[in-house]
Amino acid sequence: MPDWNALFVLSVPPLELFLRGTVSFLVLLAMMRVVGQRESGGLGISDILVVVLVAGAMGPSLEGDSSAVPDGLLVAATIVFWSLVIDAVAYRWPSLARVLKARPRPLVEDGRLNRGAMRRELMTEQEVEAQLRLHGLEDLSDIRRAYLEPNGMISIIRRSGGETDEPARPEIP
C-alpha cells in the first residue's frame, strides 16, 4: 500500500529545490546562448535528441536525487559539447556531413511522386498531398521539386518558379 502522506510531503527542502532549479536554468541558459540560435523554423532530429538528453541529465539534479547540481550540469554540458562537435565536423568536412547529418529527401520530382523516398519515410500519397495543399498547391504538375527537409518540413519549388504559400498555421483565438 503506498504511503499517501509521503506522496505530498517534500523530501528535499524547498529552498534547495529553488536553488537547484535556479542554478540549473541559468547555467543551461548561458550555455544555449553561447552555442547560438539554431534554426528557428523547426527542430531537427539532432536538436530534439539534445533537448531530450539534457532534460534526462538534468532531471535528477532538479529533483534532488543526485548528490549535486554539478553532476547534472556536467552531463548536460557534455551532451551540448558533442552536439557542437558533430555540427562543426559536418561543416568542416562536407563528405562526413552525409553520414552525420540528415539530408533533404525528394518527394516530388517533375510533377511525379517519388515513391521510393515516400516508402523510406513511411509517407502515404494522401499525407504528401495534404502537405502540398497546406502550401496552396493541388496539382502535382505545378511542382518541379518538393523535398522533405531534415526538420520535417516540406519545401516546394514550383514549375513556374513562383513562390509557394507558407504552410497554414492554426488560428489561436
Q: Which strands form 154-158's sheet, in the order they lie side by side? A: 112-113, 105-109, 143-148, 154-158
* pLDDT value for 73: 74
The Cβ of residue 147 has, within 10 Å, a number of other Cβ atoms equal to 19
When pLDDT is cut at 50, 70 and 90, the band that residue 91 belongs to is very high
Q: What is the pTM of this model?
A: 0.58
Please write the tens of the pLDDT for every residue from 4-19.
676 566 666 778 877 8
Residue pair 128/160 in contact by the 8 Å Cβ criterion: no
**Cα angle: 50, vertex 51, 52; to 5 degrees:** 95
pLDDT at 41: 45
C-alpha cell at 89: 565536423
Q: Which residue has the higher pLDDT, 123 or 49?
A: 123
What would the grid cell of residue 134 be? 497546406
pLDDT digits (tens, 9 = 90+) for 48-83: 667 777 777 777 766 666 556 676 777 777 778 888
- In this predicted structure, the answer to whether residue 113 has a pLDDT above a threshold of 90 is yes
**Does residue 40 register a pLDDT over 50?**
no
Phi, psi of 109 (to 5 degrees): -130, 120
Q: What is the pLDDT of residue 162?
A: 63
HEC-encoded secondary structure of 21-59: HHHHHHHHHHHHHHHCCCCCCCCCHHHHHHHHHHHHHHH
107: enclosing H helix or E strand:
strand 105-109
